[in-house]
Amino acid sequence: MQTGNETAGGGAAVMHPEDIIRVDAVTKVFRQGELEVHALRGVNFDLHLGEFAALAGPSGCGKTTLLNLMGALDTPTSGTVTIDGTDITRLNRGDAADFRLAHVGFIFQAYNLVPVLTAYENAEFTLLLRGVPAEKRRTVVEPLLARVGLADMMDRKPHELSGGQQQRVAVVRALATGPKIVLADEPTANLDSVSSEALLDLMLELNDEFGTTFLFATHDHTVIERARRVVRMLDGRVHEDPGPQ
């Protein structure tokens, strides 16, 4: 079952006022020599502002590929991805990077922290890239690090932090710019159950308090059980979707 806002004629529909992301008829084909791998096969998907949703499915179903397209980390073979009114598939590489920096926060499975930087320096990194002055960065980052329980660990390097603590730094980095959307690719995959629960509790609080839109690519049942909408993918297609809640 697949839901969407397609018109009667099957064409792309205008974005609903509540949509923050709209994916229209997206395909993605990877070429490996003469072999073509069809990672996505005509995906339609809408995400509303303020949702706490998950893309679920087995490895290889296309969920990470779809997440990367929605985050302007890659481009589709065909179809369009629109974020907050901007068709990001039309952006060149430089404009796509600027768009990501301004509009989207990322949380990765491997944390992607810079080893030589402290927790504070990693957390402020996206603000630094945006040219935000040092004092302004501090007024944003320090309260967020305190919020995630790292007030006393700001000067520690990643290797001095546990996996859960490193992922909390990554969450702060993703939230520091105040994005409307946070995309998280298997954010609990390297965490124990206690750390996973704590991280999800935190993100649910942020979703409720600030209205930040969260979308996870995951096969972790802990994440799936907490998500308020679960979009199930199979073989590069949306297999089941209850629609925006």
Class of domain 20-240: alpha beta
* pLDDT at residue 199, rounded to an integer: 83
pTM of the prediction? 0.85
The residue ranges of DSSP E strands in the chain, in sequence order, are 19-32, 35-48, 52-56, 78-83, 86-87, 104-107, 181-185, 213-218, 229-234, 237-240
* pLDDT at residue 11, rounded to an integer: 42
Burial of residue 190 (number of CB atoms within 10 Å: 0-12, 13-18, 19+):
middle
DSSP label of 13: P
**Domains of the chain by residue range:** 20-240
The rounded Cα 13 to chain-centroid distance in angstroms is: 24
d(CA 124, CA 109): 19
pLDDT in tens, the chain (245 residues): 444 444 333 344 445 557 889 999 999 999 888 889 999 999 999 999 999 999 999 988 999 999 999 999 999 999 999 998 999 999 999 999 989 888 999 988 878 899 999 999 999 999 999 999 999 999 999 998 998 889 999 999 999 998 889 988 998 999 898 888 999 998 888 888 888 888 888 889 889 988 889 999 998 999 999 999 999 999 999 999 988 76
What single letter denotes the amino acid at residue 190? N
d(CA 146, CA 201): 15
